[in-house]
Structure 1
């Protein structure tokens, strides 16, 4: 398995991971009608645009030519804090969860954040998403809960922060 920067040709593979992981991770959290409406084609177009956006940071985990996970980062429009950035997503196919792939993706993006001079990184995760424990394990500290609307459902989203990127890198080696 390798971790590498995403290229435009990875868009379909990233889209598949995105759709499939949302359907498994958010089942029973996000309305099923929304999850059923996700499509590989729409997500492929989204990822082609995201990868073409030069400031974005997108890395994939690839195993024997198949994309099995990805991580993205970059400063959200809502993040006005100087010296801070955001881990915007990290998703893995369900069968690859718990096999250290997420740890390797986290390490990769944290190294890039460090190279860019960031020491404070935020991440947002649905409160009912059990994978929020992944962030807690790697020392992310709870900041606050906000509400958001997905497909007509009001959901709680927790915001976490890492205040020391080097510590996360050491912990995720």
Structure 2
């Protein structure tokens, strides 16, 4: 029996989502993105950003634990460049909840949500150096794009993975 619920995020989830977002970045991107940049990220700043997102039209879903805290989240919508249909904008899970099925449940939830909206594919961008990217490969994507992005003034290679829904 699962001890968590995946549900649509509401504005009062902003701080919990921000906590997951920042702390996931600090563990996932350690030794990839500069410590200086990661140290500059704050839950307070990200809470303001998420408060704005959650106050408007959005498709962000949280993994809420039995105690009411948020262990992870996923955010989806239309693919931004309009070359594909759907896009997974973000999926993050606190390190202590990784490798127990929650990430797969969030990912599958995102795919199902987009499919129910009539989308037939979903694009996901992932840093090439991200060791966690192998998680995505279990869902059989095709690499369709590559690009260079800037994070904290440094450049990183990113690949676009396309999933059939």
What is the CA–CA distance in structure 2 between the aligned matches of 1:106 and 1:152, rounded to whole Å? 30
Residue 51 of structure 2 corresponds to 48
Q: Say whether 1:61 aligns with 2:63.
A: yes
Residue 24 of structure 1 corresponds to 27
Alpha-carbon displacement from aligned partner over 1:63-83 (angstroms, at most 9, x marks no partner): 121100000011243x2226x
Divergent runs of 4+, >3 A = none
RMSD, aligned CA = 1.1
Gaps (5+ residues) in structure 1? 166-173
Q: Does the CA-based 8 Å contact 2:61-2:74 persist in structure 1?
A: yes
Residue 101 of structure 1 corresponds to 102
Q: Does the CA-based 8 Å contact 2:79-2:123 persist in structure 1?
A: no
What is the CA–CA distance in structure 2 between the aligned matches of 1:139 and 1:85, rounded to whole Å? 16
**Within-5 A mapping of 1:139-154:** 139-154=140-155
Taking structure 2 as the reference length, the TM-score comes to: 0.93
Residue 83 of structure 2 corresponds to 81
Match of 1:135, SS? helix
What is the CA–CA distance in structure 2 between the aligned matches of 1:120 and 1:76, rounded to whole Å? 10
What is the CA–CA distance in structure 2 between the aligned matches of 1:81 and 1:145, rounded to whole Å? 14
Residue 36 of structure 1 corresponds to 39
What displacement does 1:53 show?
Answer: 2.4
What displacement does 1:52 show?
Answer: 1.8
What is the CA–CA distance in structure 1 between the aligned matches of 2:127 and 2:103, rounded to whole Å? 17
Match of 2:131, SS? coil
What is the CA–CA distance in structure 1 between the aligned matches of 2:135 and 2:53, rounded to whole Å? 25
Residue 3 of structure 1 corresponds to 6
Match of 1:89, SS? strand
Gaps (5+ residues) in structure 2? none
